[in-house]
Amino acid sequence: MRKQSKFHLVIIFLSGVALLFIIAPLAGLMFSSSISQLTETVSDKEVQNSIYLTLSTAFFATVVFSIAGIPLAYILARKEFPGKRIVSGIIDLPVVIPHTAAGIAILGIISRDSLVGKAAGTLGLDFIGNPVGISIAMAFVSVPFLLNAARDGFASVPVRLEKAALNLGASPVRVFFTISLPLAKRNIISGAIMMFARGMSEFGAVVIIAYHPMITPVLIYERFGAFGLKYAQPVAVIFVLVSLLFFIVLRMIAGRKTE
Amino acid sequence: MLDVKNISLDFAGFSLKDISFGVGEGEYFVLLGKSGAGKSLILEIIAGLVNPDKGKVILDGKEITGVPIQKRQVGIVFQDYAIFPHLSVKENICYPLKAKHISREAREKTVNELAGKMGISGLLHRKPATLSGGELQRAALARTLTLKPKILLLDEPLSSLDVELRQDMRNILRKLNKEGQTIIHITHDYEEAVALAGKVGIIHNGEIIQTGTIKEVFHKPKSKFVANLTGVRNFYNAKINSDKKAILENKIEISTLPIVDNTKEGFVFFRSEDVVISCDRIDSSLTNSFKGTILNVIPAVGGVEIVVDAGIIVSAYVTEQSVENLGLTEGKDVWVSFKAVAVRFIGR
């Protein structure tokens, strides 16, 4: 009995250390800047623009690549084909490779000298230093969250319900949009929220594609490099708060919708 | 109407072998077999959910073996109902109509009509999660019927219902069939076959071993398996005279327990093991006693089956010792007796 309670004490202590490890730096950050510094930073046009750019590029990346990624998630959940395990492994690659390397890889594909870059160039579009390029970099590193969640969502829809719908005369397209997709919705939305959050916080891959225009993570890095810790802290605080706010609001909307 | 021809299928650790049967327009066909016999698979092949390795499914003279599920006009009600959990009962029933460009009023009318027939009019706006099994099943049945399928396939529709609901559902199915709906119904329970079937097919280990009317199969089982599955040889058309009397085959009257069934006609059966054979009439609690002549003495596993003509044909199951002691041989006059409590009645 006594031994067990000692064991419990150790567990509680270690849990506390782990929690503190996450909370302490963030809490420290929150109290690092004075209110006047924060209000000054909020009204800084450069900061405002960077936050707007970050949110919009992450949102654009999430919407476009969600739509593009859902069919793949569906196929992975429903069909058996040779090499399926390899494909599943490939999906996770962007999460495990260093993000600067991911940035370099993307740059190789969309740079002005590449095939894609040249094709885009003839349309007058240049990905480098462009919000579209930023979105692509964000999507690359964050799309696995969506794909995995959507695949799990589709896998949890009983095949029998799809067959029942077919039996009721529905075309496969209608079955997908009226049965499979609505029933997998909860997973897809929570995957999309994770993708958005991950994309918004990306630094490594984005900084290689576009230093300018500046998303907030790059701005924080720049202020730190050029002016030091004290100047980077207020921007970091504001961006953390914005991220938290979006994360909580999206979760709440998603929670209400699926009830 | 429907012809299933030489269907074979090898499934993981299981196979269907050369399945053939036909179902006529308006017929109520019951496929009877133990669980794991391949019954559900046959329904899924007819509905197109599973493709057979060999054989054909022909509906109204047209082969539909390769036709996609959604174009077969064959409705299936699954054992687990497969109600769409994210749609209300009404939206579930409407589901097949939504894609058909049918006017809103026509849809409403169909839904209300079917819901009324199934007794679920009060549940239309509920979500499936709040419904009982019996209610879900009615919703599923209504949903399948909206398209007026040429054939209605039912996978064990009564097995998970309690006694009272089962009786209600039997009545619904009977009524549907009377209105002309062709039905294939699979079950492991011979009572369901007795209560509903026009024709039965007995399936065992992936093979159909006998088909025929319910009486043909019960009276002349083609194999020991069929005899065991049906379990009864003493099986008769019956009319209820009063609440404790029944007339069998318009010939003899027997005593029964009080009969609660609303229907006055149906079948009566009792097991061969419950029949006593004696040389003279005996005074006892055996309320039913009839004199007859032994038609046949058939050795069976662990005993002997004695077939007696006592106005109706009665089968009794006795030990070899009794055969010797009583001197039971063909042509001998004996009494057959059985208790009223051994008699079961199933209404039609």
Reported as a single tens digit per residue, the pLDDT across B180-207 is 999 999 998 888 888 888 899 998 888 8
Integer Cα distance of A87 and A72 in angstroms? 10
Count how many Cα atoms sit within 13 Å of the Cα of residue B209 in the half-sphere of its side chain.
Answer: 20
| Interface check A172 vs B, CB under 8 A | yes
What pLDDT was estimated at residue B230? 67
Check CB contact of B51 with chain A, cutoff 8 Å.
no
Which residues in chain A are contacts of B144 at CB distance < 8 A? 167-168
Does the model's ipTM exceed the 0.85 cut?
Answer: no
Task: Give B77-80's long-range contacts (Cβ < 8 A, gap of 24+).
Answer: B77/B137, B77/B140, B77/B141, B77/B144, B77/B152, B77/B153, B77/B154, B77/B155, B77/B157, B78/A160, B78/A164, B78/B140, B78/B155, B79/B40, B79/B155, B79/B156, B79/B157, B79/B159, B79/B160, B80/A160
State mean pLDDT over A227-249: 91
Query: Nearest Cα to B193, choosing from B30, B79, B27?
Result: B30
Interchain proximity B49–A163, CB inside 8 Å: yes
% chain B with pLDDT above 90: 40
What's the confidence (pLDDT) of residue B231?
A: 64
Q: B74 and chain A: CB distance < 8 Å anywhere?
A: yes
Q: Read off the tokens for A223.
A: 């202020």
β-pairing verdict for B74-77 and B151-155: parallel
What is the average pLDDT across A234-248? 92
Mean pLDDT, all residues of chain B: 88
Locus of tokens 């039609």:
B348
Test B86 with A163 for CB contact under 8 angstroms.
no
Residue A178 distance to chain B (closest CA, Å): 9
pLDDT bracket for residue B165 (50, 70, 90): confident
Nearest to A161 among B69, B84, B143 (CB): B84
Pairing of the two strands B245-248 and B234-242: antiparallel
Pair A135, A202: CB distance under 8 Å: no
Most confident of A33-47, A60-74, B286-300: A60-74
> Which residue did the predictor score with more confidence, A182 or B165?
A182
Nearest to B210 by CA among B198, B219, B197, B223: B223
Gap from B9 CA to chain A (nearest CA, Å):
20
d(CA A137, CA A131): 10
Is the pLDDT at A3 greater than 70? The verdict is no
Could you tell me where the DSSP H helices lie in chain A?
Answer: 2-30, 35-42, 45-78, 84-96, 99-110, 115-122, 131-155, 159-167, 172-175, 181-200, 204-209, 216-227, 229-258
Q: Which of B79, B81, B86 to mutate to test the interface with A (most CBs of A within 10 A)?
A: B86
Which chain B residues in 10-49 lie under 8 Å from chain A, judged by CB atoms? 47-49
Taking contacts as CB-CB distances below 8 angstroms, the residues of chain B near A167 are: 47-49, 69-70, 72, 74-76, 144
Nearest to B147 among A160, A168, A179 (CB): A168
A166 neighbourhood in chain B, CB within 8 Å:
49, 68-70
Residue of B70, B72, B78 with shortest CB distance to A170:
B70
Q: Give yes or no for B153 touching A (CB within 8 A).
A: no
Please report how the helices A181-200 and A131-155 are oriented relative to each other, as an axis angle in degrees rounded to 10: 140
Greatest CA span in chain A, whole angstroms?
76
Of A169, A171, A182, the CB nearest to B86: A182
Q: Does the beta carbon of A159 lie under 8 angstroms from any beta carbon of chain B?
A: no
- Hey, of B69, B72, B83, which one would you mutate to test binding to chain A, going by the most A CBs within 10 A of its CB? B69
pLDDT at B261: 67
Round to whole Å and give the CA distance between B332 and B156: 45
Q: How much is the average pLDDT of B291-317?
A: 86
Test mutation, A163, A168, A183, chain B, max B CBs within 10 A? A168
The answer, yes or no, to whether residue B304 has pLDDT greater than 60, is yes
Q: Cα separations (Å) of A5 from A15, A17, B97?
A: 15, 18, 64
SS3 B295: strand
pLDDT of A145 reads 94
Q: Which residue of A has its CA nearest to B144?
A: A168
Global pTM value: 0.80
A171/B95 Cβ within 8 A = no
Instruction: Give the pLDDT confidence score for residue A102 in this predicted structure.
Output: 92
Contacts of B85 in chain A (CB under 8 A): 183
- Cβ contact, residue pair A178, B95, below 8 Å: yes
The DSSP code for B266 is E
Confidence of residue A72 (pLDDT cuts 50, 70, 90): very high
Nearest CA in chain A to B93: A168
Using the Cβ of A80 and the Cβ atoms of chain B, whether some distance falls under 8 Å is answered with: no
| pLDDT over 90 at B298, yes or no | no
Res. A257: pLDDT tops 70: no
B322-346 pLDDT, tens per residue?
888 988 889 999 999 998 888 888 7
Size of interface A-B (CB pairs under 8 A): 56
Length of chain A: 259
Of A168, A182, A183, the CB nearest to B96: A168
Residue whose entry in the numeric block shows the structure tokens 């997973």: A187
Kindly indicate the confidence band of residue A150, based on its pLDDT and cuts at 50, 70 and 90.
very high
Looking at residue B335, what is its pLDDT? 92
Which has more confidence, B252 or A20?
A20
For A46-60, write each residue's pLDDT tens digit.
999 999 999 999 999
- CB-based contact A170 B144, cutoff 8 Å: no
